[in-house]
Structures are given as C-alpha cells and as structure tokens.
Amino acid sequence: MTQLSVKRFAIQISAEQRKRLMEAWLHPSQYADVANSLPRLKQSYVLAVLSNVMPGIRGCLVAIAF
C-alpha cells in the first residue's frame, strides 16, 4: 500500500520513513475512548472484530481491542 500511495501522489520518502510507516501499520494504536468503552459494551453485548485488513494484521487489531 505504501509503495502505491507514494507513487500515485508523487511523494518522496526515505527508506527510514517508509520503514516507520510500515511499522505504524503493523502496530496501530487505539482511539482514546476505546479502553473505557469496550469493557462497558462487553457487559451487555458479545464483542467481535469485523475487519477487511490483511490476515497478518488482524491479530494485532484483536490484541489491541481486547
């Protein structure tokens, strides 16, 4: 994805910047309200992850969410 975006928008990035972007994609952070909201929702609902991301990244998202 990064390579396609860089090419499409004619952006110049260094190898280090590309590496940092890829790392950020693999280790997303949660929104500030998630930590308080999920436990409250879990009291009344069954929680599940619904995502269209690649399988390798899905595990990272589940680990952050729960």
How far is it, in rounded angstroms, from Cα 62 to Cα 12?
A: 33
Q: Read off the pLDDT band of 43 (50, 70, 90).
A: very high
pLDDT at residue 44 is higher than 90: yes
What's the whole-number average pLDDT of the chain?
Answer: 77
Number of structural domains (the chain) is 1
Instruction: Tally the residues of the chain.
Output: 66
Distance CA 60, CA 65 (A): 9
Pick 14 or 29 by higher pLDDT.
Answer: 14
Distance CA 60, CA 28 (A): 8
